[in-house]
Structure 1
Amino acid sequence: MAEEGLTNSDLELKLVNQSNDLIKLQTNFNELQMKFNEEKEKTFNFEKKITFLENELKEMKEKNRKLESGYKNEIEQVNNLFEKKIADLTIKFEQLNNVTRKVVNFVEIKNKWKTIAGKYIKCCDDNCINQSNPIGNCIKGNGFINLINDEYIKYINCVEGKGEDVDPVITAENSFKRPQNCFNYSLFYFEIKCKMERELNNCLNWMSAIKNEKEEEFKLSTFSWNDNDVFGCGLVYPPTIVNEFPYIFFTQNGNQIGKALLSKDNFDYYQPYVVLQCCSVETNFGNNLETKPFVYDISKHFVLKEFY
Structure 2
Amino acid sequence: MKEDISSDSDYELIHSKGDLGQENEIEDKNVFEKPGNQINVEELKQTFQQMIDEIKTENSKQNSVLKEIIEQKNEKIICLENKVKQMEESTDKKVGELTEELEQISNLNKELYFIQAPNKWKEIKQKCPEASWFTEDCCEAKCINTENPVGNCVKGNGFANLIDDENIEYIDAKRDNNCHGSDKSTTIYAENSFNKSKDSSNYSLFYFEAKYISKIKEEKISYRKINVGLENSSNNYARLSFDIDGFKDIWFNIQNQEGCIRLQNIHWNNNDIFGCGLVYPPSSTNNFSYIFFTHNGKQIGIKIFCTFPL
Q: TM-score, normalised by structure 2?
A: 0.51
Structure 1 position 122, deviation (Å): 2.3
1:217 to 219, 223, 237: 237
Residues in 1 aligned to 2:236 and 2:230: alpha-carbon distance in whole angstroms: 9
2:288 to 240, 245, 261: 245
2:224 matched residue in structure 1: 203
Residues in 1 aligned to 2:215 and 2:235: alpha-carbon distance in whole angstroms: 29
Q: TM-score, normalised by structure 1?
A: 0.51
Q: Evaluate the alpha carbon distance shift between residue 180 and residue 170 of structure 1 in structure 2; reply closer, same or farther with a 3 A threshold.
A: same
Q: Evaluate the alpha carbon distance shift between residue 202 and residue 216 of structure 1 in structure 2; reply closer, same or farther with a 3 A threshold.
A: farther
Structure 1 position 121, deviation (Å): 4.2
Q: CA RMSD in A?
A: 2.3
Deviation readout 1:64-88 (Å, 9 max, x if unpaired): xxxxxxxxxxxxxxxxxxxxxxxxx
Structure 1 position 197, deviation (Å): 5.5
Q: Evaluate the alpha carbon distance shift between residue 239 and residue 98 of structure 1 in structure 2; reply closer, same or farther with a 3 A threshold.
A: farther
Q: Evaluate the alpha carbon distance shift between residue 142 and residue 192 of structure 1 in structure 2; reply closer, same or farther with a 3 A threshold.
A: same
Instruction: For residue 173 of structure 2, give the secondary structure of its aligned residue in structure 1.
Output: coil
Structure 1 position 256, deviation (Å): 1.1
1:232 matched residue in structure 2: 275
2:193 matched residue in structure 1: 175
What is the one-letter code of the residue matched to 1:180? Answer: K
What is the one-letter code of the residue matched to 1:116? Answer: I
1:101 to 104, 107, 121: 107
Instruction: For residue 242 of structure 1, give the secondary structure of its aligned residue in structure 2.
Output: coil
Residues in 1 aligned to 2:191 and 2:120: alpha-carbon distance in whole angstroms: 6
Sequence identity of aligned pairs in percent? 44
Q: Which runs of 5+ in 1 are unaligned?
A: 1-96, 270-308
Residues in 2 aligned to 1:120 and 1:197: alpha-carbon distance in whole angstroms: 25
Residues in 1 aligned to 2:182 and 2:209: alpha-carbon distance in whole angstroms: 28
Instruction: For residue 213 of structure 2, give the secondary structure of its aligned residue in structure 1.
Output: strand
How many matched pairs? 170
Equivalent residues of 1:99, 1:185 under 8 A apart: no
Residues in 2 aligned to 1:202 and 1:99: alpha-carbon distance in whole angstroms: 40
2:208 to 178, 190, 201: 190
1:154 to 166, 169, 180: 169
Structure 1 position 138, deviation (Å): 0.7
2:184 to 156, 162, 166: 166
What is the one-letter code of the residue matched to 1:134? Answer: P
Residues in 2 aligned to 1:106 and 1:154: alpha-carbon distance in whole angstroms: 29
Instruction: For residue 154 of structure 1, give the secondary structure of its aligned residue in structure 2.
Output: strand
Equivalent residues of 1:99, 1:184 under 8 A apart: no
Structure with more contact order per residue of length (Cα contacts < 8 Å, sep ≥ 6): 1
Q: Evaluate the alpha carbon distance shift between residue 255 and residue 100 of structure 1 in structure 2; reply closer, same or farther with a 3 A threshold.
A: closer
1:1-308 superposed matches below 5 A: 101-102=107-108, 103-117=111-125, 118=127, 119-160=134-175, 162-196=180-214, 200-204=221-225, 206-220=226-240, 221=249, 222=263, 223-265=266-308, 267=309, 269=310
Residues in 2 aligned to 1:159 and 1:201: alpha-carbon distance in whole angstroms: 15
Q: Which moved more, 1:109-118 or 1:150-159?
A: 109-118
What is the one-letter code of the residue matched to 2:224? Answer: C
What is the one-letter code of the residue matched to 2:159? Answer: F
Residues in 2 aligned to 1:260 and 1:193: alpha-carbon distance in whole angstroms: 22
2:10 matched residue in structure 1: none
1:281 matched residue in structure 2: none
Equivalent residues of 2:158, 2:181 under 8 A apart: yes
Residues in 1 aligned to 2:151 and 2:303: alpha-carbon distance in whole angstroms: 38
Deviation readout 1:151-185 (Å, 9 max, x if unpaired): 10011000125111111110111111121111100
Structure 1 position 263, deviation (Å): 1.2
What is the one-letter code of the residue matched to 2:171? Answer: I
Structure 1 position 120, deviation (Å): 4.2
